[in-house]
Amino acid sequence: MINKSFRKLYLTMLPTSSVASCYIVILNYTNDTYPPTQDTVAIPLFYMTGLLAILLLLSIIQNPLYKQLHHQKTTSIISTTLALFSTTVSSALLIETIDYWFTPNHLSISALYFLTLTTYVIYQFNLYKKLVS
């Protein structure tokens, strides 16, 4: 059996980070943190919403491997390959997001996504540990 707690924590942290980040960007905008020449905050809000959708989709792609391991069934090459692809893309997106928001006015956003990445890495470690054992 796989420990479900980190999967649940990741799937909770992901929307929480996205909603809180959108709130921080809107709060910064209403507090005039951004220069008057700033185009719009719609682009970062759209980015965070799109990121949430992509990461949730990648979690769904990884679900067949998770279920096979959870029920102690034989894993298929396709589910393992898709899960590895999902892990690679999700990790890259989260790392890029942490780097993108690593600015003085957005350190809290970067920290939120760092916590999300941490829970994701622990979840993935547990998943793949079960795969190789």
Determine the average pLDDT of the residues in 24-44. Answer: 84
3-state secondary structure of 17: helix
pLDDT the model gives residue 19: 97
**Confidence label for 30 from pLDDT (cuts 50, 70 and 90):** confident
Cβ burial 60-77 (10 Å sphere, 16+ → b, else e): ebbebbbebbbeeeeeee
pTM, two decimal places: 0.91
Give the residue with greater pLDDT, 34 vs 26.
26
Candidates 56, 59, 44; CA nearest to 109 is 44
* Average pLDDT value for the chain: 92
pLDDT the model gives residue 61: 96
pLDDT the model gives residue 122: 94
**Confidence label for 103 from pLDDT (cuts 50, 70 and 90):** very high
Q: Tell me the two tokens of residue 62.
A: 């990884």
pLDDT the model gives residue 11: 95
Q: Tell me the two tokens of residue 13.
A: 């942290």
pLDDT the model gives residue 80: 95
**Confidence label for 32 from pLDDT (cuts 50, 70 and 90):** confident
